[in-house]
């Protein structure tokens, strides 16, 4: 007997259909899986055998061959357990439903027949919808995530017995229904706020500019000055995610297996803060079949690198391509995948190895050579890709004891939204440009025109500080954002002057302090 079940898998962050063909033939009992299965798929035969027996069904003593088509794509993971079990039960006529080909089936089986969640449910749900199938059968833990995609019927089950009863028409289980807009609104609330940050008005102003233009930012200052606290609140002043952005971000987190079963949809912009011991594969993505790394998990949000100078040099250097392109391409011998990686980079570091250089309250024990070596860990090309450099000084006692709350994230986000609206109108005819930070050289020359007085000031800054050509463009982009926050069409000399301040931590400037 031969049966065919439709299942799904993911390639990158996109889902695609897989035909699970099960053949029962006469001969010595055996179980063979073909179609480029990985070890997890090969091991499914033992899980499927135990699950079918422990669920009370008869396992056929036949020669079983399972083919996963298309056979030229590597299959990985445990999501094929359920479709293989359903295929075996269908071929042995335990399941007699005539509408098996109307549903896509996926799920991992426990030895007792219960269903465990799988990765990539939302990507698979989108693939099912695109291929116009009637519905999707998944573990109950994945049902809410898969049901985010409107227009298909998603059925969630707890065990193999319930799936068999449903396919035989013996149960009347209703599809999972959720209010996508309600879930999105509930998930869009942040738990932190800029009002909690005391003092640091200069840093808050710089972060507002960074959020308004999508600029990367580096904060430098002694320990305990609030750099991490400021960075964690940067996402709260960014424009709220659209539903389209939320779906794309959720897909990445689901495929990577970091999406909580309680979070069927990510409504807040992601904030990723990897430890400085992370590898280049961890930051970019990797594996035999490449999985998303931190730069992709931070897509549409913020990637925060604390203690920037402590990261391995090769890890920092691999950031250069995604910072420029907004995507990352990972090549392996048999497959090449491209993941989205459009994020804001926020970084923080101490001014020296001991952390107290320029701190008026503590004595620095570092020599000039030690400080120079410490800063040399960050290459010039990477530093050029960070638009805004700011110093975060130690707080005074009067600022610490103040009970007056700071400006709220909602108020700051209101100004950021207005500046972003101006930029969306400006770049309406330009594809893949949504904010000032995304402008290329051609766009800078068109949209960042300055008068003679501003030109003279910028020339003096370049000659004095030795700014690079890329830094020149960064100054103009930041000045454009400052003008947008003030709703002024032309860039003025005061905008250029403020933008130049945010390049003061370039290496060749820092050592003159």
Could you give the residue ranges of the DSSP H alpha helices within 427-503?
A: 441-447, 452-465, 469-485, 493-501
Give the total number of structural domains in the chain: 3
Q: Are 200 and 233 in contact (CB under 8 A)?
A: no
- What's the token pair of residue 422? 């101006």
Residues spanned by the domain of 45 = 2-179
Q: Residue 378 above 80 pLDDT?
A: yes
The token duo for 82 is 């359920």
Residue 261 has pLDDT above 80, yes or no: no
Q: Would residue 441 count as lying in a domain?
A: yes
Residues 6+ apart with CB under 8 A from 142: 107, 117, 118, 121, 156, 261
Tell me the range of 109-113, 375-379, 425-429 where mean pLDDT is highest.
Answer: 109-113
DSSP state of 104: E
At 56-98, the pLDDT tens digits run 999 999 999 999 999 888 898 899 999 999 999 999 999 987 7
Whether residue 70 has a cis bond before it, omega within 30° of 0:
yes
Q: Tell me, what CATH number does 282's domain have?
A: 3.40.50.300
pLDDT in tens, 30-49: 999 999 898 989 999 999 99
341: its two tokens: 């990686």
Determine the pLDDT at residue 127: 94
190 belongs to a structural domain: no
Using alpha carbons, list the distances in angstroms from residue 248 to 253, 265, 302, 507: 9, 10, 15, 37
402 in a structural domain: no
H/E stretch holding 371 reads: helix 368-376
**Site of tokens 């979070």:** 263
Q: What is the distance between the alpha carbons of residues 54 and 52, in angstroms, rounded to a whole number?
A: 6
Tell me, yes or no, whether 108 and 247 share the same domain: no
Give the pLDDT band of residue 238 (cuts 50, 70, 90): very high
Confirm whether 412 is domain-assigned: no
Res 505: pLDDT: 63
β-bridge pairing 388-391 and 217-220: parallel
Q: Over 70: is that where the pLDDT of 508 sits?
A: no
β-pair partners for 17: 8
Dump pLDDT digits (tens) for 311-349: 999 999 999 889 888 899 988 877 888 999 999 999 999
Q: Same domain, yes or no, for 138 and 277?
A: no
Asked if residue 423 belongs to a domain, the reply is no
406 domain residue, yes or no: no
Q: Tell me the per-residue pLDDT of 453-483, one tens digit each, with 9 for 90 and over.
A: 999 998 888 888 777 777 888 899 999 999 9
3 state SS of 178: coil
Is residue 198 classed exposed, middle or buried when 0-12, 13-18 and 19+ CB atoms within 10 A define those classes? middle
Tell me: the pLDDT tens digits for 166-203?
A: 999 888 899 998 888 888 888 888 989 999 888 888 99
Give me the mean pLDDT over the 481-501 stretch.
Answer: 94
| 343 falls within a domain | yes
- Whether residue 175 sits in one domain with residue 212: no
User: Is 244 found in the same domain as 275?
Assistant: yes
From residue 302, alpha-carbon distances to 214, 217, 341, 378, 381 in Å are 10, 10, 10, 20, 20
- Domain assignment of residue 418, yes or no: no
Q: Do 214 and 257 have their domain in common?
A: yes
Whether residue 511 has pLDDT greater than 70: no
Supply the pLDDT for residue 414.
Answer: 95
Q: Would you say 103 and 131 are in contact if contact means Cβ atoms under 8 Å apart?
A: no
Q: What are phi and psi of 154, to 5 degrees?
A: -110, 125
Pairing assessment for the beta strands 336-340 and 327-331 based on DSSP bridges: antiparallel
What does the pLDDT read at residue 506?
Answer: 60
Among candidate residues 342, 376, 395, the one where a domain is terminated: 395
Q: What is the mean pLDDT of residues 371-399?
A: 84
Q: Name the 3-class secondary structure at 113.
A: coil
Say yes or no: 142 and 21 in one domain: yes
Verdict on whether the full-model pTM lies above 0.75: yes
Mean pLDDT computed over every residue of the chain: 90
Specify the length of the chain in residues. Answer: 513
Identify the CA nearest to 5 among candidates 129, 110, 137, 118: 137
In this structure, the answer to whether residues 207 and 162 fall within a common structural domain is no
Give yes or no: residues 205 and 167 share one domain.
no
- pLDDT band for 290, please (50, 70, 90 cuts): confident
In a shared domain, residues 463 and 378:
no
Q: For residues 216 and 501, give the distance between their C-alpha atoms in angstroms, rounded to a whole number.
A: 15
Assign residue 137 the CATH number of its domain: 3.30.230.10
Q: Count CB-CB contacts under 10 A for residue 21.
A: 17
| Same domain? 463 vs 324 | no
Instruction: Return d(Cα 346, Cα 196) in angstroms, integer.
Output: 19
State the pLDDT at residue 412: 95
> Are 301 and 334 in the same domain?
yes
In this structure, are 20 and 93 located in the same domain?
yes
106 confidence band (pLDDT: 50, 70, 90)? very high
What pLDDT sits at residue 513? 41
The whole-number average pLDDT for the span 286-302 is 91
Residue 95 structure tokens = 């399941």
């Amino acid at each position: 007997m031969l049966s065919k079940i439709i299942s799904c898998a993911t390639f990158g962050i996109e889902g695609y259909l897989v035909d699970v063909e099960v053949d029962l033939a006469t001969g010595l009992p055996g179980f063979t899986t073909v179609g480029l299965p990985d070890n997890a798929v090969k091991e499914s035969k033992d899980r499927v055998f135990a699950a079918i027996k422990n669920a009370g069904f008869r396992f056929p003593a036949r020669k079983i061959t399972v083919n996963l088509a298309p056979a030229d794509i590597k299959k990985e993971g445990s999501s094929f357990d359920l479709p293989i079990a359903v295929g075996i039960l269908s071929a042995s006529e335990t399941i007699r439903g005539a509408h098996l080909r109307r549903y896509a089936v996926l799920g991992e089986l426990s030895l007792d027949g219960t269903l465990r969640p799988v990765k990539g449910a939302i990507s698979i749900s989108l693939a099912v919808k695109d291929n116009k199938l009637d519905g999707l059968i998944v573990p109950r833990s994945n049902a809410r995530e898969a049901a985010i995609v409107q227009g298909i019927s998603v059925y969630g089950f707890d065990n193999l017995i319930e799936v068999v009863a449903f396919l035989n028409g013996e149960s009347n289980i209703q599809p999972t229904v959720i209010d996508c807009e309600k879930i999105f609104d509930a998930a869009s609330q942040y738990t932190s706020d800029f009002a909690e940050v005391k003092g640091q008005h200069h840093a808050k102003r710089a972060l507002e500019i960074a959020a308004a233009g999508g600029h990367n930012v580096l904060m430098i200052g002694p320990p305990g000055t609030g750099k991490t606290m400021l960075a964690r609140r940067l996402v709260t002043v960014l424009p709220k995610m659209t539903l389209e952005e939320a779906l794309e971000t959720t897909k990445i987190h689901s495929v990577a297996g970091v999406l909580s079963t309680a979070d069927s949809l990510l409504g807040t912009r992601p904030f990723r803060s990897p430890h400085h011991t992370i590898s280049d594969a961890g930051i970019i993505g990797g594996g035999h079949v490449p999985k998303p790394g931190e730069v992709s998990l931070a897509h549409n949000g913020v990637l925060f690198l604390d203690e920037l100078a402590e990261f391995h040099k090769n890890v920092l250097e691999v950031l250069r391509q995604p910072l420029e392109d907004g995507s990352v391409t990972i090549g392996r011998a048999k497959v090449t995948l491209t993941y989205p990686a459009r994020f804001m980079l926020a970084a923080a570091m101490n001014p020296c190895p001991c952390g107290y250089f320029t701190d008026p309250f503590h004595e620095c024990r570092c020599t000039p050579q030690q400080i120079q070596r410490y800063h040399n860990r960050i290459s010039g090309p990477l530093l050029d890709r960070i638009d805004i450099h700011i110093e975060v000084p130690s707080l005074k006692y009067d600022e610490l004891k103040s009970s007056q709350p700071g400006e709220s994230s909602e108020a700051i986000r209101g100004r950021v939204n207005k500046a972003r609206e101006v930029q969306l109108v400006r770049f309406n005819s330009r594809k893949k440009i949504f904010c000032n930070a995304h402008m290329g050289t051609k766009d800078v020359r068109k949209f960042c025109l300055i008068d003679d007085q501003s030109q003279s000031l910028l020339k003096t800054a370049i000659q004095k500080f030795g700014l690079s050509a890329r830094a020149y463009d960064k100054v103009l982009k930041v000045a454009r954002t400052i003008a947008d926050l003030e709703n002024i069409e032309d860039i003025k000399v005061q905008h250029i002057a403020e933008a130049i301040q945010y390049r003061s931590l370039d290496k060749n400037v820092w050592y003159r302090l």
